[in-house]
Amino acid sequence: MTVPDPIAWLEAFADRVRARDLDGGRRFFAPGATGFGTRAARVDGLGDLVEQQWRPIWTSTRGFRFDVEDVLVATAADGSQTTVAVTWSSEGVTADGTTFDRAGRATLVLVPDPGSPVGLVAVHSHFSEDPTG
């Protein structure tokens, strides 16, 4: 059995964030996904994740990228689940257009899904800002 590539998932999902493509981003998550975020404390279900976390953050972010050169990946022996721990960086954009550096870390739980763009969907995500500033 070929296990889908979680790095490809990270890069393709980051493309959606940079493009502010909320609908495209949905294809990378399971409908029942849960999430903890930089804005939303906890959300249950993809619709709430998009509206409470993604929409307000993605529309005020530029240059989002995962630091894939320094990622930790753990895949179950049977390929049924992959956990990814990775840092990320971006620029935040204020209402007046001022930008500021924004960095953080993410933990993602991915499961195989042949209908998704890269063969994996997230069932859980946890994004937080870097506590060191």
The domains of the chain, with CATH numbers, are 6-129 (3.10.450.50)
Confidence of residue 1 (pLDDT cuts 50, 70, 90): low
Q: For 36-63, how does the pLDDT look when each residue is reduced to its tens digit (9 = 90+)?
A: 999 999 999 999 999 999 999 999 999 9
Q: Could you tell me if 6 and 82 are in contact, meaning their C-beta atoms sit under 8 angstroms apart? A: yes
Beta-bridge mates of residue 34: 44, 124
Is pLDDT at 132 greater than 60 in this prediction?
yes
Run of H or E residues at 24: helix 22-26
What does R_g of the chain's alpha carbons equal in angstroms?
14
Cα–Cα distance, 72 to 81 (Å, whole number) = 14
Q: For 12-36, how does the pLDDT look when each residue is reduced to its tens digit (9 = 90+)?
A: 999 999 999 999 999 999 999 999 9
SS3 2: coil
Confidence of residue 133 (pLDDT cuts 50, 70, 90): confident
Phi, psi of 60 (to 5 degrees): -125, 30
Could you tell me the two tokens for 55?
Answer: 């929409």
Q: For 59-102, how does the pLDDT look when each residue is reduced to its tens digit (9 = 90+)?
A: 999 999 999 999 999 999 999 999 999 999 999 999 999 999 99
Run of H or E residues at 62: strand 61-66
